Amino acid sequence: LPLEQDMDILGVELATVQSTDSGPEMHQALQKMQAAAEDAKKSAPYTLQGQAPDSSGMKDYRAGLDQLITQIVVVDKLAVLNKLPEARTEAKKLAEIRNQNHKKFR
């Protein structure tokens, strides 16, 4: 998918993760987030257009998405255990990772 569509999915599903009272629903939203973040690694942001795929900028961009995926897995482990308060606390870091990377690449 185009990067904007992957980002839109991340936004919609993060809203579900933050608001749901259902462990299975949170898990499903996190799975969609993980797939969108993986797919986003195939794209290049406009701010890095023209840079080679192995440039330091592109490596940093993919590292940001890998950091997001690592945290998605952390939250998901709590969601499948139905530990929703703990999952919500860890989910705050997803928004922090978003903000840090938007400053760099958006």
Which residues would be at the binding site for ligand HEM (CB under 6 A)? 3-4, 7-8, 10-11, 14, 45-46, 61, 64-65, 68, 94, 97-98, 101-102, 105-106
Residue 93: both structure tokens together: 């870091």
Q: How far apart are CA 59 and CA 72, in angstroms?
A: 20
Q: How far apart are CA 73 and CA 20, in angstroms?
A: 17
**Least CB distance from residue 85 to ligand HEM, whole Å?**
20
**Least CB distance from residue 29 to ligand HEM, whole Å?**
11
Q: Indicate the residue among 78 and 97 with the shorter CB distance to ligand HEM.
A: 97
Q: 8: which DSSP letter?
A: H
